[in-house]
């Protein structure tokens, strides 16, 4: 059985930054707002809107920049997201049947 992991939300003010060192394998999820992620030695830019996520795939420093007030979470990529509300309702109905 896997131990549960609680992800603490990280609030970023508009134009604020959050730095992650050696984040390879970590999932960054944008809960609210819009963010930009850049990773050391990576020419790509990753832009996340509310509800989107990305997995960091580079060693070194990653920087998350908030275009406007934002809330993000950072945690292990292997963590399964919560199912959508419709799927939860189906699961509840199946159990009751």
Q: What is the 3-state secondary structure (H, E, C) of 25-78?
A: CEEEEEEECEEEEEECCCCCCEEEECCCEEECCCCCEEEEEECCCEEEEEEECC
- What is the band of 82 on the pLDDT scale with cuts at 50, 70, 90? low
Spatial distance between the Cα atoms of 43 and 69, rounded to a whole number of angstroms: 25
Q: Which candidate, 69, 76, 75, places its Cα nearest to that of 11? A: 69
Do residues 84 and 91 lie in contact, with contact meaning Cβ atoms separated by under 8 Å? no
Task: Calculate what percentage of the chain has a pLDDT beyond 90.
Answer: 70
Do residues 30 and 48 lie in contact, with contact meaning Cβ atoms separated by under 8 Å? yes
Q: What is the pLDDT of residues 5-48, one digit of tens each?
A: 668 999 999 999 999 999 999 999 999 999 999 999 999 999 99
**pTM (predicted TM-score):** 0.74
Structural domain spans, the chain: 10-96
| Per-residue confidence (pLDDT) for residue 7, from 0 to 100 | 80
Q: Average pLDDT, whole number, for the chain?
A: 84
CB atoms closer than 10 angstroms to residue 28:
24
- Would you say domain 10-96 falls under CATH 1.20.140.10? no
Mean pLDDT along residues 58-81: 90
- What is the band of 78 on the pLDDT scale with cuts at 50, 70, 90? confident
Mean pLDDT along residues 45-68: 96
């Amino acid at each position: 059985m896997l131990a549960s992991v609680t992800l603490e939300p990280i609030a970023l003010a508009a134009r604020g930054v959050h730095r992650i060192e050696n984040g390879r394998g970590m999932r960054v999820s944008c809960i609210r707002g819009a963010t930009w992620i850049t990773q050391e030695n990576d020419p790509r830019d990753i832009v996340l809107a509310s509800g989107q996520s990305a997995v960091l795939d580079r060693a070194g420093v990653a920087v998350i920049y908030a275009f406007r007030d934002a809330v993000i979470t950072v945690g292990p990529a292997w963590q399964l997201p919560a199912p959508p509300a419709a799927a939860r309702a189906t699961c509840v109905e199946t159990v009751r049947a």
